[in-house]
Amino acid sequence: MADLSYLDAVILGVVEGLTEYLPVSSTGHLTITEKLLGLEVSDPAVTAYTAVIQLGAIAATLLYFFRDIVRFALAWVRGLASAEGRKDPDYSLAWAVVIGSIPVGIVGFVGRDLISGGLRSLWVVAAALLLWSVVMVLAERIYAGYEARGQLRGEHSVRPVDGVVIGLIQCFSLIPGVSRSGATISAGIARGIDRVTATRLSFFLAIPALTAAGLFQAVEEKDGLSALGVGPVLVGLVVAFVVAYASIAWLLRFVAGHTLMPFVWYRVVLGVLLAGVLAGGVITAT
C-alpha cells in the first residue's frame, strides 16, 4: 500500500465521489478499482484508506445540506426542551435520522473484522450487485402502488419508525456491492416516502454512519495510513469532496423525475461482467 501514487489517489477519489451516493455501491466499485490498480484489497491500510476518503464525500454532504442540518438540529433541541417544539415535523425527522443511524453503527462495529476481511471478495460484490437489484425492483413496485393510490409521503410526514426500518435495512449496506444509498432509498420508497425525500433522508443518514466509519478506520489503521504520506490521503479527500458534491446535486435532480431502474440495469450488467471475469480467471476475487 505504500506504493499508492497520486494518480491512484485521484482515481480512487473520483470513484468514491461518483459512487458514494448513487445506488451502485461505492465499496464495490472501490474494491474493483483497487484490484485493477494492483492494490492488495485485503490490506488493512487499503480498507482504511477507502474509509477515510469517504470523509471527503461526507464534507460535501455537510456543505450541500448545511442549512437543512442546522434546521433539523435546532428543531431537535427545541423539541427536547418543550412540548410545543415536539409538534415541529423537523423534530420527528431529526429523530428518524438519530434512531436510524444506530443499527449500522452497532452491526458495523461488531462485524468489523468480517466486513474488512472475508466480505472484501469480488465474488461477494458480484452477488450483492445482482441480488440487491431484485430488492430495488420490488421497492419500485411497492412505490408504484403508493403512487397510484395517492399515498406518497413527503418530508413533513417522516416519522421515527421510518428511521428504525430504514436504519435496519441500512445494515445490509455493510456487504460490499449492496450500496448504502441503494439500501436506504429502497427502504424509504418501499414505505411510501417520495423519491426526493427518501434520497434526502439517505444523505442525512450517511453523515453519522460514514463519519464514524472513516474516523474509526483512521485511528485503528493510523500506522498504515501514515506510510502513505499526507499527500495521497489529502488528494483522495479533496477529489472525493468535489466529485461527491456534484453527484449529490445531480442525483436529487434525477430522482425528481426518474425511477431507480437505470441504476438497477447498470448493477445487473456490472454484476454479470464481474462474475464473468472472475469465473474466467481474468482477475482474482481477493
Model confidence at 221, pLDDT cuts 50, 70, 90, reads low
Mean pLDDT of 226-233: 77
Render pLDDT for 29-75 as a digit per residue (tens, 0 to 9). Answer: 998 898 888 888 777 777 778 878 888 999 999 999 999 999 999 99
- Three-class secondary structure of residue 153 per DSSP: strand
270 or 215, higher pLDDT = 270
CA distances from 67 to 61, 71, 112, 207 (A): 11, 6, 33, 14
Residue 153 dihedral angles phi and psi, to the nearest 5°: -110, 145
Render pLDDT for 169-211 as a digit per residue (tens, 0 to 9). Answer: 999 999 989 999 999 999 999 999 999 999 999 999 988 887 8
pLDDT value, residue 192? 96
User: With the C-alpha atoms ordered 48, 218, 14, 243, is the resulting torsion angle positive or negative?
Assistant: positive
CA distance 13 to 114: 24
Mean pLDDT of 217-241: 80
pLDDT value, residue 50? 80
- Judge contact between 107 and 173, C-beta under 8 A: no
- Neighbouring CB atoms inside 10 A of 6's CB total 12
Segments in 152-229 forming alpha helices (H): 160-170, 180-190, 195-220, 222-228
pLDDT value, residue 1? 46
pLDDT value, residue 243? 97
Q: What is the percent of the chain where pLDDT is above 90?
A: 66
CA distances from 29 to 41, 57, 86 (A): 12, 15, 41
DSSP letter for 193, please: B
CA distance 268 to 270: 5
The per-residue pLDDT of the chain, averaged, comes to: 90
